[in-house]
Amino acid sequence: MLNITRKVEYALIALRHMQSKNNTDLTSAKEIATKYGIPQQLLAKTLQQMARDGIIKAVQGPAGGYKIAANLKSISLKDFFEKLEGPLGMMDCYFDSECLQITNCNIRIPIQRINDNMRSMFSKMTLQEITQ
């Protein structure tokens, strides 16, 4: 329970890989996919998403690839997770309230407390800490 998704996992692996290189160098999806045994197309999509989000910069064409664009210190894990996977919470009712049991539900408030704790924890950790 409480697993991160492969998408996030692949994204972290990619960031860490890029960070270990000189930041003038570009890294292709293929390079990472091969080295870490990750499905290339899936990784590519994740990289594209991070590029759209401004976390990395994409360069097209042969000899193209990606490199880190943002200051990883300035991106919290919470923001990172939410960029890639949407709202971060233990129950969906934390965000949208289409739960039918909502009038009867007796754990909304307590669950919100846990949620806040968890989000706070991930707000305090930055991408830099993960990838260094």
Partner DNA sequence: TTATATACGATAAATTTTGTCGTATATAAT
Partner DNA sequence: ATTATATACGACAAAATTTATCGTATATAA
Residues that bind DNA (CB under 7 A): 1, 3, 5-7, 28-30, 39-42, 44-45, 47-48, 51-52, 58-66
Is residue 130 within 8 Å of 12, Cβ to Cβ? Answer: yes
Residue 125 in tokens? 């950790």
Strands (E), the chain: 56-59, 65-68
CB of 89 to a copy of itself, least distance (A): 7
Residues 27, 112: Cα–Cα separation, whole Å:
41
Dihedral through CA 7, CA 88, CA 127, CA 12, nearest 10? -10
In the complex, what is the shortest distance from the CB of residue 64 to a copy of itself, in angstroms, rounded to a whole number?
Answer: 22
Tell me whether residue 59 or residue 105 sits nearer to DNA (CB atom). Answer: 59
The residue type of 39 is P
Least Å from the CB of residue 51 to a copy of itself: 20
- For 35, 60, 61, 85, 106, the CA distances from 65, given in Å and listed in that order, are 15, 7, 8, 23, 50
Task: Give the nearest distance from C-beta 29 to a copy of itself in angstroms.
Answer: 16
Residue 116 interacts, among DNA, a copy of itself, none and using kind-specific CB cut-offs from 5 to 8 Å, with: none
The footprint of a copy of itself (CB under 8 A) covers: 1-5, 8-9, 12-13, 16-17, 20, 35-38, 77, 81, 85-86, 88-92, 100-101, 104-107, 110-111, 113-114, 117-118, 121, 125, 129-132
